[in-house]
Every structure is written in structure tokens, then in C-alpha cells.
Chains A and B, each alone.
Chain A
Amino acid sequence: GDSVTQMEGPVTLSEEAFLTINCTYTATGYPSLFWYVQYPGEGLQLLLKATKADDKGSNKGFEATYRKETTSFHLEKGSVQVSDSAVYFCALSGIAGRRALTFGSGTRLQVQP
């Protein structure tokens, strides 16, 4: 079945550092890929998405590129802020009408001033 693997956290960075959170997936066909973010005490929010190979999703300075050849969707940001501290979830939505998301286990990011 479909699955998503994320790098384990926590990831601890200083403010303005470069961020990469790795995500790889296993799926039949061509899924849509997502990054969701969960800030402390809040619900999951969509951060960005990509629906086909080579698409780049971007939002709030975060980017991720759908790489079919490596089945990856790594999240990057050039300069993190303290306010980016949260848990980040990579997810995929499968094909054939199964629109429910399959999530990775999440990566906690802690940004220190």
C-alpha cells in the first residue's frame, strides 16, 4: 500500500539557517503530494502541494519539488524563523478516487533565536 517516510526529528536550527526535511514515498501510479504543518496547540494546516512530477509547491518561503525519479518531496526553506517551529507532515493522496491522505510520522522543527 501507499506509505510516506520522513526524517526523524527533532531538527534543531538557529534562526536564519537553511532547512531541509526529507520525505520519500511509495505509491501506485502518480499521487499528489503535500506538506502539512501543525503549530503548537493548533490543527493541521496545508503548507504546500504538488500534483504532478516536477511541480514545485511553495508557500511562506517553503518549497518542495515533486521528484518522480527519486520518489521524493523534500521540504526546504532558505532562512528559518523562530515562528517556523512546528511539526511538519509529508503526505500523499492516492489515485483512483482515494482522496484520503496518507501521512508520514512527522518531523518536529525547533528554531532557536
Chain B
Amino acid sequence: EAGVVQSPRYKIIEKKQPVAFWCNPISGHNTLYWYRQNLGQGPELLIRYENEEAVDDSQLPKDRFSAERLKGVDSTLKIQPAELGDSAVYLCASSLDNSPLHFGNGTRLTVT
């Protein structure tokens, strides 16, 4: 089966610019996650969707971050405006019910 697909693979932007990341989960997976992984750290949850509903967004910095999963399939994570501290790898994962999470390869964001 095709895995979780993320794009772009790399993104370099200047601070205060907007940026968006896209994720296509594994077909049929109802749960989608966005994680942020800082250099040398483990991933930290930003938001979790059950179908199209965001059921856990307590760690999402809502002043500048937004996410959507309009049809319960693909998802987009946006940052506007980006700050230097947002430089990290943004990971998308998906799962079906209680199955283990499957991760994409991530988008490496560099804010200059």
C-alpha cells in the first residue's frame, strides 16, 4: 500500500512569510496527526483529526498555525507568519482506529 505522502520535502522561507504543508494519509485511515520535530528531539503533537474533526489541538499555536482536513482525507497545515523558531521537521501520520501510526517522511522547514 502507498504510505503517507507529504509535500514539499524541504521548504526555505524568510521570517514573516506564510508557508503551507500538505499531507495525504494512507487510504482508509480515519485518524490524521500533525507533529513537529525539533532538531535532536522527539516529535510533539500539534493536532489530531478524527475524520474531518479536530479532536485534539491543545498544542497548536493558534495565533499563527492553522490546519484543515475538509473532506476527512488530505490535510494542510499552515503557518502565517513564520518565525525563526518554527524551523523544524513537520511530520504527518495516519492510523485506522487503534492501529499503530504510520508516518510520512516529513517536511523540513527552515526559516531565515
* Cβ distance B69 to chain A, nearest Cβ, rounded Å: 15
Flag if A106 contacts B48 (CB, 8 Å).
Answer: no
Centre residue among A36, A100, A101, A105 by max chain B CB count within 10 A: A100
A-side contacts of B106, CB under 8 Å: 43
Report the Cα distance A86→B79, complex, angstroms.
30
B-side contacts of A49, CB under 8 Å: 100
Q: Does A99 contact B (CB under 8 A)?
A: yes
Flag if A98 contacts B43 (CB, 8 Å).
Answer: no
Flag if B42 contacts A89 (CB, 8 Å).
Answer: yes
Q: Do A106 and B100 contact each other (CB < 8 Å), given the known contacts A42-B105, A99-B31, A100-B48?
A: no
Partner of A43, one of B31, B48, B56, B103: B103
Report the Cα distance A100→B33, complex, angstroms.
8
* Cβ distance A28 to chain B, nearest Cβ, rounded Å: 16
A-side contacts of B42, CB under 8 Å: 4, 89, 91, 103-106
Number of A-B contacts (CB under 8 A): 46
Centre residue among B41, B45, B101, B102 by max chain A CB count within 10 A: B101
B-side contacts of A98, CB under 8 Å: 56
Per DSSP, chain A at the interface is strand
Chain A to chain B contacts (Cβ below 8 Å), 25 pairs? A4-B42, A34-B100, A36-B103, A42-B105, A43-B3, A43-B91, A43-B103, A43-B106, A44-B43, A44-B93, A45-B103, A46-B102, A49-B100, A89-B42, A98-B56, A100-B33, A100-B48, A100-B56, A101-B45, A101-B101, A102-B45, A103-B43, A104-B42, A105-B40, A105-B41
Instruction: Give the interface of B toward A (CB within 8 A).
Output: 3-4, 31, 33, 40-45, 48, 56, 91, 93, 95, 98, 100-106
